[in-house]
Amino acid sequence: MAGTLTPVLHLVTCGSVDDGKSTLIGRLLAETNSVPIDTLEYARRTRRGGSTIPVGDIDYSLLTDGLEAEREQGITIDVAYRHMNLPNGRRVLVADSPGHEQYTRNMAVAASNGDVAILMVDAARGVRPQTHRHLTISALMGVKTIIVAVNKMDLVGFEHATFEEIIGIVRTTAARLDVPEVIAIPVSAVTGDNITMRSGNMPWFQGPTLLEALEQWEPLDGRPGAEVADAPFRFPVQFIVRAEGNFRGYAGTVVSGSVATGDKVLIADSGRTAHVERIVTYDLHVDGHIADLDRAEAGEAVTITLDHEVDVTRGDVIAAATGDLVQPADRFAADMVWIGEEPLAHGRSYLLVCGPRSVPATVTNVRHRLDVVAGHEHAARVLEMNDIGRVEVATDKPIPMDPYTVVRDTGGFLLVDRVTADTVAAGMVRHAMRRSANVVRHDYAVDVDARRLLMGHDAKVVWLTGLSGAGKSTIADAAVRRLHSLGVHTFVLDGDNVRHGLNKDLGFTPEDRAENVRRVAEVSKLMADAGIVVFVALVSPFIADRRAARDLFDPGQFLEVYVDTPLEVVSERDTKGLYAKAAQGSLPNLTGVGQEYEAPLTPDLVLRGVGDLDASVEVLVRAIVGE
Amino acid sequence: MTTPQSVASVPYSAVLDELEAEAIHIYRETAAAFKNPVLLYSIGKDSSVLLHLAVKAFAPAPIPFPVMHIDTGWKFREMIEFRDRRAAELGLDLRIAQNVAAIEEGVTPFTHGTHEYTRLMKTVALREGLDRYGFDAAVGGARRDEERSRAKERIFSLREPGHQWDPRKQRPEFWRTANTHLAPGQSMRVFPLSNWTELDVWKYIQRESIPIPDLYFAKPRPVVERDGTLIMVDDDRLPLREGEVPDLRTVRFRTLGCYPLTGAVVSTADTMEQLVEEMAGAKYSERSGRLIDGEGGSESMEGKKKEGYF
């Protein structure tokens, strides 16, 4: 796109009301005629309590005023999105992040799309901890240009030395964070100095006004003489277009690089290659002419057809077949911003969403938590809301993801809670971990089918879940005796027994319970592969953990059995004396007392723990060997 | 850094190209990720753009989901004619939702305050229509520049069971990656035009030659002036107040809705060129002509959204 300006600039603004951010943004909006006159009139008329601005003047801070609910309850809800039209025709999309609690989360969201960040520093107060916080988050989210607006210069007598002192500190931090470009501008949002008009009060400043800086900005790799390697072609497939005449096209957005007809491309998921036959847009229908594109650049939404049939589904990435290759992996090191109210649980299965792709994934390790103010790394086991940390993520199947610094769209991902569907984290891939590429699955000649023939029956996993003392082990024991006599190869994985060996390092917190379930599920998977009917007798109180266990198996191979015994009955029975201990307070995490038990919503079978044992066994045996 | 040289300028068309690509991306994500999406079509200029973008997003295949119109029974007659003509031209699977119970009870813009009328005829009708067909995602034409509370609206805006909008449950939007997963009872509203301005909509209609209802162009129409607003007498259901005589004036409409609640503007813009020129010079936000938003101050949009309005 040499020779033309980037039409849309994504701007993120950070800073608190104290720094004068609302006033600065409000003035920029007003002075670029980006605000309708009735909104301006509102800002002339309305006054907040304590405002010293005379009625009739514009209170610029009111132009960015938030929601009714926010004003009434004094809470900040989230990022606000506005637009600005610059005199040179450029559109600026502003993501304005509020500066209160939940700051990290909001700022990370706002900065995720940002080309440029305006970082506000109050000249009178100097660099503060939150200045470092803004810089760190901007850098982490990949913002390449930081405009440091040193505000309230009028309060320090427009003094050059104050400005230099502040930007010296900011530049040092920015250099440590590898921020490629820092532009510093002394401004006064209240008086308008160096916002859209050059200040007469600071003749010592030769740089651009804020408006000029926004008008002149270009991405680093788009500037004349830029020595940056071409961005690699990436095209995540969103939708398969099928139309008359055997038309089969892959619709999506070019998120990086460019593609031309005839290019050899790689289906990164399968490793297959093909050549681009056509690049189709709607405009081919105009006037009945066939007028496909020869080429599509980053940001364009197009439909691609390939020269021969290869297997491509939604979520697959079509990529350059040469140069910077992206290969599937199932373990990644990533920086992660935790935004969920519940902390990160190790071993719990989440959905990893990367563009149009969703796959189950677990966080297997937290390496450290980042102190966003000081830049230090602290040892940590969990991440809580607004924490940022380095983690290791394992996906259920290998997927191609890029380092975030190479391509934001194919290197950034969300984690989604599998029960509430809430977004709980945003991650930035730093690198795929070598382990996954080097550990190649070996296909053995004696496989599942061969074992089934020898065993004479299918392998299954019967997962008994329910409160402690519900009767899971008793039912498993009776069922296994019966099956054994019928010649079925069985094994019982009992929660209590497993905790004496394999899982003796685990406790009863939600994270440890998730890991407990994960390990037991993996062991039962190995045993099922060996051809055995496995009974798992495990409290396994959380839906998400049980769902992750089920995902390891083929449909029909995993039976979730809810042993439904009322809490009053199990605590009365109290075969292990646990409920008595919980009542005394010495066992805080007992399921059903100190921790919640999430009953299955759609179990394969429900057995009454107080019912007839023989009847329960009969039901189970029938489910396993048939009538 | 040096002082600026003469700054090159960005052609408007390049901005429109980016907005168009973003909207197409959102459409494709919606069609692929949800089980049963629907396009909410309100016949106005924004809906006309939405429809055009849907055609573009899936070409050469047809639009892969139905289109639903919330019909209050008080739309301009020309709007309904236009709707049916476009549906036939594009081969749309058109569904029409109405609050039949309220119509039978005799609810009109004159019997009820605008707030209650809107709640019954638009919000309730919309909720019923979505429930009847089991739509889990509804695409609408809302833009962030329309009203102050829209500035925080998401592109993928989550609705809780009962279509409630809970500002605190809204999902953060990172990159182009949308979390389209739904828990039981949840649904999604989707706004592909979030980042468009009113002028963008007009410039795009002009560039792409998108058909729009004639009501947007100035011509002599019978109007009465009420409380400073020009109301068109579209049929004989408008109760005339004492002394009111419809007057033929050259007017056009900036937004389209229920005719008794939609103010006309005096204008002579009767070509697309004049219209875009007039809009480019417009200083007031378009909602200033809508009586619907008036009651209860500028906050009412947010209140309506919580009830399930767009």
Residue B25 to residue A238, Cβ atoms within 8 A: yes
Q: Is residue B30 part of a domain?
A: yes
pLDDT of residue A447: 80
Asked if ipTM goes beyond 0.85, one says: yes
- Asked whether B264 and B252 are in contact (CB, 8 A), the reply is yes
Give the contacts of A294 (CB within 8 A, at least 6 positions apart). Answer: A260, A261, A279
Q: Is residue A229 part of a domain?
A: no
B270 and B157 co-located in one domain: no
User: Of A349, A468, A540, A571, which one is the catalytic site residue?
Assistant: A540
To the query of whether residue A540 is one of the catalytic residues in this protein, the response is yes
- Asked whether A84 and A27 are in contact (CB, 8 A), the reply is no
* CA–CA dist A247, A60 (Å, integer): 54
Residue B24 to residue A414, Cβ atoms within 8 A: no
Average pLDDT, chain A: 86
Q: In whole angstroms, what separates CA A83 from the centre of its chain? A: 26
B168 and B80 co-located in one domain: yes
pLDDT of residue B284: 62
Residue B60 to residue A215, Cβ atoms within 8 A: no
Residue A81 to residue B152, Cβ atoms within 8 A: yes
The last residue of one of the domains, among A320, A352, A367, is A320
> Residue A387 is which amino acid?
D
Q: Is residue A478 part of a domain?
A: yes
Low-confidence ranges of chain A (pLDDT < 50): 1-2, 75, 436
A343 and A288 co-located in one domain: no
- Asked whether A173 and A179 are in contact (CB, 8 A), the reply is no
Tokens of A218: 């270009």
B283 and B180 co-located in one domain: no
Residue A7 to residue B18, Cβ atoms within 8 A: yes
Q: Is residue A3 part of a domain?
A: no
B233 and B285 co-located in one domain: yes
Residue B25 to residue A301, Cβ atoms within 8 A: yes
Residue A241 to residue B60, Cβ atoms within 8 A: yes
A171 and A69 co-located in one domain: yes
How many domains, in total, are found in chain B? 2
B139 and B220 co-located in one domain: no
Q: Is residue B42 part of a domain?
A: yes
CATH number, domain of A354, equals: 2.40.30.10
pLDDT of residue A45: 80
pLDDT of residue B99: 92
Q: Is residue A524 part of a domain?
A: yes
Query: Chains A, B: CB contacts under 8 A, how many?
Result: 197
CATH number, domain of A496, equals: 3.40.50.300
* CA–CA dist A7, A92 (Å, integer): 9
Q: Is residue B5 part of a domain?
A: no
User: Is residue B309 over pLDDT 70?
Assistant: no
B104 and B145 co-located in one domain: yes
B187 and B237 co-located in one domain: no
B128 and B237 co-located in one domain: no
- Asked whether A362 and A394 are in contact (CB, 8 A), the reply is yes
Please tell me the distance in Å from A625's CA to the nearest CA on chain B.
Answer: 34
The count of other CB atoms within 10 Å of the CB of residue B147 is 22
CB contacts of A106 in chain B (<8 Å) are 172
3-state secondary structure of A504: coil
* Site from B150, B152, B300 to mutate, A interface, most A CB atoms within 10 angstroms: B152
Q: Is residue B295 part of a domain?
A: no
DSSP category for residue A470? S
B251 and B167 co-located in one domain: no
Token pair 């308008």: residue = A192
- Asked whether A83 and A91 are in contact (CB, 8 A), the reply is yes
User: What is the residue range of A617's domain?
Assistant: 448-625
- Closest CB from A85, A88, A351 relative to B7: A88
Give the number of C-alpha atoms closer than 13 A to the C-alpha of residue A433, restricted to the C-beta side.
Answer: 15
A289 and A198 co-located in one domain: no
Q: In whole angstroms, what separates CA A12 from the centre of its chain? A: 19
* Chain B nearest-CA residue for A337: B174
pLDDT of residue B297: 41
User: Is residue B224 over pLDDT 90?
Assistant: yes
pLDDT of residue A285: 54
pTM score of the predicted model: 0.80
B102 and B153 co-located in one domain: yes
- Closest CB from A8, A409, A413 relative to B176: A409
User: Is residue B240 over pLDDT 70?
Assistant: yes
> Residue B127 is which amino acid?
R
pLDDT of residue A17: 58
Please tell me the distance in Å from A533's CA to the nearest CA on chain B.
Answer: 33
Please tell me the distance in Å from A80's CA to the nearest CA on chain B.
Answer: 4
* Site from A1, A6, A8 to mutate, B interface, most B CB atoms within 10 angstroms: A8
Q: Is residue B60 part of a domain?
A: yes
* Site from A22, A29, A239 to mutate, B interface, most B CB atoms within 10 angstroms: A239
- Closest CB from A77, A253, A422 relative to B167: A77
pLDDT of residue B302: 58
pLDDT, one tens digit per residue, over A173-229 is 999 999 999 999 999 998 999 999 999 999 999 999 999 999 999 988 766 665 555
Q: Is residue B294 part of a domain?
A: no
Please tell me the distance in Å from B205's CA to the nearest CA on chain A.
Answer: 15
Residue B152 to residue A420, Cβ atoms within 8 A: no
* Chain B nearest-CA residue for A97: B152
- Closest CB from B172, B284, B303 relative to A105: B172
Q: Which of A595, A494, A498, A506 is nearest to A535 (CA)?
A: A494
- Asked whether B305 and B149 are in contact (CB, 8 A), the reply is yes
Q: Which of B192, B153, B149 is nearest to B31 (CA)?
A: B192
pLDDT of residue B2: 39
Q: Which of A87, A91, A89, A31 is nearest to A63 (CA)?
A: A31
The count of other CB atoms within 10 Å of the CB of residue B295 is 12
pLDDT of residue A1: 40
Please tell me the distance in Å from B239's CA to the nearest CA on chain A.
Answer: 31
pLDDT of residue B1: 36
Residue B10 to residue A5, Cβ atoms within 8 A: yes
B88 and B192 co-located in one domain: yes
Q: Is residue A460 part of a domain?
A: yes
pLDDT of residue A317: 96
pLDDT, one tens digit per residue, over A142-182 is 999 999 999 999 999 999 999 999 999 999 999 999 999 99
3-state secondary structure of B154: coil
> Residue A97 is which amino acid?
S
Q: Which of A336, A337, A334 is nearest to A107 (CA)?
A: A337
Residue B177 to residue A80, Cβ atoms within 8 A: no
- Closest CB from B8, B177, B283 relative to A355: B177
Residue A5 to residue B8, Cβ atoms within 8 A: yes
Alpha-carbon distance values, A26 to A40, A62, B151, B249 (Å): 10, 7, 14, 39
Q: Which of A414, A420, A419, A422 is nearest to A109 (CA)?
A: A414
Q: In whole angstroms, what separates CA A435 from the centre of its chain? A: 23
CATH number, domain of B166, equals: 3.40.50.620
* Chain B nearest-CA residue for A300: B21
DSSP category for residue B70? E
CB contacts of A314 in chain B (<8 Å) are 32
- Closest CB from A37, A80, A414 relative to B174: A414
3-state secondary structure of A238: strand
Tokens of B115: 């707030």
DSSP category for residue B170? P
User: What is the residue range of B235's domain?
Assistant: 213-289
Tokens of A385: 């809301």
CB contacts of B152 in chain A (<8 Å) are 66-67, 77-81
> Residue B284 is which amino acid?
Y
Q: Is residue B165 part of a domain?
A: yes
Q: Is residue A169 part of a domain?
A: yes
Residue A89 to residue B9, Cβ atoms within 8 A: yes
Q: Is residue A484 part of a domain?
A: yes
Q: Is residue A89 part of a domain?
A: yes
A200 and A264 co-located in one domain: no
- Closest CB from A109, A281, A282 relative to B174: A109
How many domains, in total, are found in chain A? 4
Residue A281 to residue B56, Cβ atoms within 8 A: yes
- Closest CB from B152, B179, B186 relative to A80: B152
* Chain B nearest-CA residue for A339: B172
A240 and A217 co-located in one domain: no
Residue B32 to residue A314, Cβ atoms within 8 A: yes
Q: Which of A603, A533, A532, A535 is nearest to A564 (CA)?
A: A603
Please tell me the distance in Å from B6's CA to the nearest CA on chain A.
Answer: 10
Q: Is residue B7 part of a domain?
A: no
CB contacts of B60 in chain A (<8 Å) are 241, 243-244, 247, 280, 284-285
Alpha-carbon distance values, B5 to A216, A275, B2 (Å): 9, 44, 8
Residue B4 to residue A208, Cβ atoms within 8 A: yes
A187 and A293 co-located in one domain: no
* Site from B177, B191, B299 to mutate, A interface, most A CB atoms within 10 angstroms: B177
B86 and B179 co-located in one domain: yes
Share of chain B above pLDDT 90, in %: 63
Residue A1 or residue B283, greater confidence: B283
Residue B57 to residue A301, Cβ atoms within 8 A: yes
Alpha-carbon distance values, B264 to A479, B74, B229 (Å): 78, 16, 7
- Closest CB from B57, B151, B181 relative to A81: B151
* Site from A65, A81, A182, A214 to mutate, B interface, most B CB atoms within 10 angstroms: A81
